[in-house]
Chain A
Amino acid sequence: MRTVLDFEKPIAELDANIEALKRITAEQGIDKSEEIAALERDRERLLREIFKNLTPWDRTLLARHPQRPYTLDYIRVIFDDFIELHGDRQFGDDGAIIGGMAWLNEKPVMVIGQQKGRDLKERQRRNFGMAKPEGYRKALRLMHLAEKFGRPVITFVDTPAADPGVESESRGISEAIARNLREMIALKVPIVAVVIGEGGSGGALGIAVADRVLMQEYAIYSVIPPEGCAAILWRDPKRAPEAAEALKLTAHDALCFGVVDEVIEEPLGGAHRDPLTAAQIVKEALLRHLPPLQKMAVSKLRESRYERYRNLGVWQSVLE
């Protein structure tokens, strides 16, 4: 079943009409090509119009769209010879974070990312992309492996949050995230992070400390889900659309705050309408950002990564 968001409905209706006309052409041999062409023009105009005026809440829904490409979809298109590596060597293997060796245009890279599931069974196995401590520890193990052999790290960020359950608490979810933050800042190889869907607070940041952070046009990045924010502010999770507005969670906002370095365009109507093109655009961005980082001296690389995070924040200096 394809999911159609409310604001996508007019497009879905046009799609259905176009399909019907095509069927008539095929089945009854009546030429409807002019009508089809007219409808397709309408469809494109409508898409442009709708996607020009998206609210932060619309973007939140797009970031969570069940047909949106996930990490593995990007890996399949962008990289060659991906070898998935499993386990944190301490407790287990977390399905919510995947990682492994791959080649980006003849260059070896370590790829790590949060992975959501497509169907119910896979969603459960991947815990809806909510990683447990062993996921963050696996990610860190792979980063250290990359460091040992001088391979750059590319991460894909797509999680509603880190797993908040009893098991995760018992195994130190906070410590696992905190350690990743401290270690990623000091890693001796380049890191590029790409926010491809939901950048869900600490759970996202736990694999997103990088030299370059890129973010897709319709991805979101937030300190708290809009529903949670609305529940705290107004005791009403239904006011999430307002909270989404207040939280400034869009890719453009993140760019303005200096949290991301580039907003990666998506195909018209969002990555889920054309996953292949979406992945090609991400690949181009990676190929632009990675080589200059690989040319930097390690000390310079680490120094500028430190400065990048050290300078984030807006506060004021008030002398009494």
Chain B
Amino acid sequence: MQRGWFARRSPAERVAMDEMNDAWVKCNGCQQILFARDFERNLKVCPRCGHHHRLSARERIALLADPDTFVERDAEVVSADPLGFPEYADKLNKGRANSGLPEAMVSGTCTLSGIPIVLAVADFAFMGGSMGSAVGEKVARAMEYALEQRLPIVTCSTSGGARMQEGLLSLMQMAKTCAAAARLHEAGIPFVSVLTDPTMAGVLASYASVGDVVIAEPGALIGFAGQRVAQQAQVVKPPPNFQTAEFQLEHGMVDIVVPRKELKHTLYRVLRFFTGG
């Protein structure tokens, strides 16, 4: 829309304008125009209203892992199209292009403030972070590796839910990831689940909800049914903060809501409780 206006200018002017344009971002929360540099430095949290913008999996890993310690695992596990579902192949290609990732989940090992952990992080830019067979497999493998190495595991979810395009097989990933979580539970391996914007439906109703400690980012959309479905089904009017991190905290579904700049240190303190002493 803005581009039409720029198009009237000379090429040189246009380059200058584009550069200037890149120097600014608009906050999705308060709509304020912000310096991109300040915004990035503030971990994509609006310095004015505190709105937490989504991070890519790579950004989130950079936020949590100590520098140069992240070693990716299971990068070869990617989606197939077992149902021959309409437009799925195209969507997978778009997801790869949008996220620069082969799949909606990146997992591996790293240290977090010196504590060795397994880390699995979802990326919303890859088909809304949805969980198909490959994502389920990567979560299960990460958990099994944590069990085998007796390392704590941290998952960071951002997902619309189970991936519709793999039908029943996606649904079964809920059981698969919870099966792996059950083994961690029995073996006493710490599992911390971080819910980021948004964590919905089949992901919230499976592994993301069974962490020993559940942490959420401020303002994150966290809920079971899509807003539209929930609204249609309403007999009771939803409160203004319905399906936010704060709503889930208030209703006892989340242990802590932590601002992004404190997330790493909070995780460190939680992990230290389980592993230190």
CA separation between A205 and B172, bound complex, in Å?
8
Q: Which of B169, B208, B252, B253 contacts A257 (CB 8 A)?
A: B169
Q: A209-B175, A246-B86, A317-B77 are in contact. Are A310 and B234 (CB under 8 A)?
A: no
Whether B206 contacts A168 by the Cβ 8 Å rule is no
The B-contacting residues of A in range 272-320, CB under 8 angstroms, are: 306, 309-310, 312-320
B-side contacts of A202, CB under 8 Å:
162, 171, 174, 201-202, 205-206
A-side contacts of B20, CB under 8 Å:
none
CA separation between A181 and B207, bound complex, in Å?
9
CA separation between A199 and B187, bound complex, in Å?
32
Per-residue contact bits, chain B 145-178, to A (CB 8 Å; 1 contact, 0 not): 0000000000000000010101111111111101
Whether B233 contacts A163 by the Cβ 8 Å rule is yes
A-side contacts of B206, CB under 8 Å:
177-178, 181, 202
Whether A171 contacts B183 by the Cβ 8 Å rule is no
Whether B224 contacts A162 by the Cβ 8 Å rule is yes
A-side contacts of B225, CB under 8 Å:
164, 169
Whether B251 contacts A310 by the Cβ 8 Å rule is no
Which residue of A is nearest B183, CB measured?
Answer: A306
A-side contacts of B166, CB under 8 Å:
223, 314
Max chain A Cβ within 10 angstroms of own Cβ: one of B173, B178, B235: B178
A-side contacts of B185, CB under 8 Å:
182, 186
CA separation between A316 and B74, bound complex, in Å?
11
Which residue of A is nearest B186, CB measured?
Answer: A186
CA separation between A175 and B173, bound complex, in Å?
16
Whether B79 contacts A320 by the Cβ 8 Å rule is no
Q: Which of B4-12, B107-115, B133-141, B268-276 is the interface stretch? A: B133-141
Q: Which of A163, A205, A310 contacts B179 (CB 8 A)?
A: A310
CA separation between A164 and B175, bound complex, in Å?
20
B contact residues, total (Cβ < 8 Å): 66
* Closest-CB distance, A103 to chain B (whole angstroms): 29
Per-residue contact bits, chain B 240-264, to A (CB 8 Å; 1 contact, 0 not): 0011000100011100000000000
Asked if A218 lies at the interface with its beta carbon under 8 angstroms from chain B, I say no
Whether A185 contacts B253 by the Cβ 8 Å rule is no
Whether B253 contacts A175 by the Cβ 8 Å rule is yes
* Closest-CB distance, A260 to chain B (whole angstroms): 9
Which residue of B is nearest A232, CB measured?
Answer: B164
Whether B175 contacts A309 by the Cβ 8 Å rule is yes
B-side contacts of A253, CB under 8 Å:
167-168
B-side contacts of A315, CB under 8 Å:
77-80, 132-134, 137
CA separation between A313 and B80, bound complex, in Å?
10
Whether A205 contacts B137 by the Cβ 8 Å rule is no
Asked if A165 lies at the interface with its beta carbon under 8 angstroms from chain B, I say yes
Q: A166-B230, A306-B179, A320-B76 are in contact. Are A254 and B168 (CB under 8 A)?
A: yes
Whether B168 contacts A174 by the Cβ 8 Å rule is no
B-side contacts of A222, CB under 8 Å:
167-168, 171
Max chain A Cβ within 10 angstroms of own Cβ: one of B78, B171, B233: B171
Whether B79 contacts A249 by the Cβ 8 Å rule is no
The B-contacting residues of A in range 233-287, CB under 8 angstroms, are: 233, 246-249, 253-254, 257, 259
B-side contacts of A67, CB under 8 Å:
none
Q: A174-B204, A202-B205 are in contact. Are A314 and B80 (CB under 8 A)?
A: yes
Q: List 28 A-B contacts (CB under 8 A).
A: A166-B236, A169-B224, A169-B225, A172-B252, A174-B223, A174-B253, A175-B209, A178-B205, A178-B208, A181-B174, A182-B178, A201-B202, A202-B162, A202-B202, A205-B175, A223-B168, A233-B87, A247-B83, A247-B167, A248-B167, A253-B167, A259-B168, A306-B183, A312-B172, A313-B172, A314-B133, A315-B79, A316-B134
Residues of chain A at the chain B interface (Cβ within 8 Å): 162-175, 177-179, 181-183, 185-186, 201-202, 205-206, 209, 221-224, 228-229, 232-233, 246-249, 253-254, 257, 259, 306, 309-310, 312-320
| Given A169-B223, A177-B205, A205-B171, 12 new contacts (CB under 8 A) | A165-B233, A168-B224, A174-B204, A174-B209, A178-B208, A201-B171, A222-B171, A246-B83, A247-B83, A247-B168, A259-B168, A315-B80
